[in-house]
Structure 1
Amino acid sequence: MAAKNNYRTPLITILNPLKPSQLPSEEEIIAQGKALLEESTTWKAGKLCWDVVETAYRPKLPGDGAPFHCRISVHTPEEISFDLLWDKMSRNKPQNEMGFNREMQKVTLIKELSPTATIWSMFYKFQPPVSNRVFTELQVIHFSEAKPRTGIVVTIPIDITSPEDAELAKLEESGVKAKYACVERVMELPNGNTEWRCATSGTAGGSIPDWLVEPTLEKKVAQDVPLFFEWLRKTEGRSA
Structure 2
Amino acid sequence: MSGYALSITPVRPSDVPPHETLIDLAKKLIASTHSWKQGKTYYKNVKTSHHPATTPGGAPWHCRVSEHTKDEATFDELWDRLGKDKALNEKEFIPEIDTATKVKEVSPESIIWTLHYVFSPPIAPRVFTVLQLTHLEDSADGARSGMIVSIPIDLSGAGDEALAALETPGAVRGCYVSVEVLTERPDGSTEWRMATSSTPGGSIPTFVVERTMASKIAQDVPHFMTWLKETRK
- Normalising by structure 1, we get a TM-score of 0.93
Aligned counterparts of 1:63 and 1:197: Cα–Cα separation in 2: 25
Aligned counterparts of 2:125 and 2:116: Cα–Cα separation in 1: 7
Letter matched to residue 79 of structure 2: W
| 2:7 corresponds to 1:13 | yes
1:171 equivalent in structure 2: 166
Q: Tell whether the 8 Å contact from 2:4 to 2:17 is kept in structure 1 after alignment.
A: no
Cα RMSD, aligned residues only: 1.1
Match of 1:128 among 112, 118, 121: 121
1:204 equivalent in structure 2: 200
1:158 equivalent in structure 2: 153
Aligned counterparts of 2:173 and 2:119: Cα–Cα separation in 1: 14
Shift of 1:9: 2.6
Aligned counterparts of 1:88 and 1:72: Cα–Cα separation in 2: 18
Aligned counterparts of 1:104 and 1:95: Cα–Cα separation in 2: 10
Q: Tell whether the 8 Å contact from 1:13 to 1:63 is kept in structure 2 after alignment.
A: no
Aligned counterparts of 1:187 and 1:129: Cα–Cα separation in 2: 39
Q: Which runs of 5+ in 2 are unaligned?
A: none
Shift of 1:109: 0.2
Q: Count matched residues.
A: 230
Q: Tell whether the 8 Å contact from 1:184 to 1:196 is kept in structure 2 after alignment.
A: yes
Shift of 1:8: 3.3
2:22 equivalent in structure 1: 29
The 1:64–1:195 alpha-carbon spacing in structure 2 relative to 1, beyond 3 Å, is farther
Q: Tell whether the 8 Å contact from 1:18 to 1:158 is kept in structure 2 after alignment.
A: yes
- Normalising by structure 2, we get a TM-score of 0.96
Shift of 1:64: 6.3
CA-to-aligned-CA distance 1:25-46 (integer Å, 9 cap, x gap): 1111111011100001111111
Shift of 1:160: 0.7
Shift of 1:99: 0.9
The 1:64–1:150 alpha-carbon spacing in structure 2 relative to 1, beyond 3 Å, is farther
Higher mean C-alpha displacement, 213-222 vs 143-152: 143-152
Shift of 1:63: 3.7
Shift of 1:61: 2.9
The 1:91–1:112 alpha-carbon spacing in structure 2 relative to 1, beyond 3 Å, is same
Shift of 1:191: 2.0
Segments ≥4 residues shifted beyond 4 Å: none
- In the TM superposition, what are the counterparts of 1:31-70 in structure 2 within 5 Å? 31-63=24-56, 65-70=58-63
1:180 equivalent in structure 2: 176
CA-to-aligned-CA distance 1:115-156 (integer Å, 9 cap, x gap): 110100000112221111000001100000332310000001
